[in-house]
């Protein structure tokens, strides 16, 4: 980068890079190169290939011995080359840079790298702050695998099961959907049958129980198709989705606080309900889209054979 007719160069450090550098904790830094400015263009060209990536470029100022780089990261250029003539301003009030330091972004000494073998957090302390009939909340102080030390408030839950009950007796599969009022959403929602796994209960047993209690249906064929976290940012609840086919209708056995309406919806209609935002429940959205994908793949395979 040349500066006017003087054929000099200035290395400008972006504000974002500096913020990232200063906020990234203590680092093992080393000065890999130092270029005196004003410098000839060919000198800059010869030095540039020696700069490893990623790097941060920091200007040293004549009025600040050791430069910002030394103050921020604790390294000193072994032989900084400063020109003898006075620094000049370039219209912004900022003195001309006298020395360019290239700071190698070494691995942080306070954080583990991406290749760290540790995948679990170290729990410093944990305190249960709330216990209810369905879930409990703990306040944990942890050191996570990346080296972050933080307080985490976690909602604990025994886990839930979701039932994707499908009437496959016709040419178009139909999905069994429920509609019930959800106070947290302050609205009626379309959902798949689902419920909590009781202590000591197996997932499949819980799925069969929930389908019978909420809808009255039973199924001859069962298969677990998905398992995911409901909201892993602060909720430890897992959800296991079971595909239930070869349905048989019966009498529902809802709990006292449940008023549930049910409907068998053709799969194409259910997909439209997802796309249009009529279905707003995450577990139902993921399960319906899974079924649609599998149905399309099956039809495509039949056409190719």
Catalytic residues, by residue number, are 256
**Could you tell me the two tokens for 167?**
């009437």
Q: Which residues pair with 238 in a beta bridge?
A: 229
Work out the end-to-end distance of the chain between its first and last CA atoms, rounded to an integer number of angstroms. Answer: 63
Nearest Cα to 138, choosing from 148, 123, 160? 123
Cβ(120)–Cβ(200) below 8 Å: no
String of DSSP letters for 156-167: EE--EEEEEEEE
Length of the chain in terms of residues written = 305
SS3 (DSSP) at 97 = coil
Alpha carbon of residue 202 to chain centroid: 30
Contact between 132 and 92 under an 8 Å Cβ cutoff? The reply is no
């Amino acid at each position: 980068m040349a500066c006017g007719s003087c054929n000099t160069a200035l290395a400008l450090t972006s504000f974002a890079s500096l913020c990232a550098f200063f906020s990234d904790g203590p680092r093992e830094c080393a000065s890999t190169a130092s270029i005196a400015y004003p410098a000839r263009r060919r000198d800059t060209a010869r030095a540039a290939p020696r700069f490893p990536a990623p790097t941060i470029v920091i200007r040293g100022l004549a009025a600040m011995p050791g430069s910002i780089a030394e103050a921020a990261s604790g390294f000193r250029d072994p032989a900084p080359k400063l020109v003898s003539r006075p620094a000049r301003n370039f219209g912004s009030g900022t003195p001309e840079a006298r020395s360019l330091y290239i700071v190698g972004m070494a691995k942080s000494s306070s954080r583990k790298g991406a290749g760290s073998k540790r995948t679990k957090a170290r729990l410093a302390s944990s305190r249960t702050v709330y216990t209810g009939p369905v879930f409990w909340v703990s306040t944990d102080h942890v050191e996570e695998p990346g080296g972050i030390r933080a307080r985490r408030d976690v909602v604990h839950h025994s886990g839930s099961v979701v039932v994707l009950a499908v009437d496959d007796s016709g040419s178009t599969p139909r999905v069994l959907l429920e509609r019930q009022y959800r106070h947290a959403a302050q609205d009626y929602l379309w959902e798949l049958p689902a419920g909590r796994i009781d202590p000591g209960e197996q997932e499949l047993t819980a799925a069969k129980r929930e389908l019978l209690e909420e809808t009255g249906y039973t199924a001859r064929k069962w298969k677990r198709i998905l398992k995911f976290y409901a909201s892993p940012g602060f909720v430890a609840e897992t959800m296991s989705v079971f595909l239930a086919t070869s349905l048989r209708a019966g009498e529902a056995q809802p709990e006292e606080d449940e008023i549930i309406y049910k409907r068998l919806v053709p799969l194409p209609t259910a997909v439209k309900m997802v796309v249009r935002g009529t279905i707003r429940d995450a577990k139902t959205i993921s399960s319906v889209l899974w079924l649609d994908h599998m149905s399309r793949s099956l039809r495509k395979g039949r056409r190719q054979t």
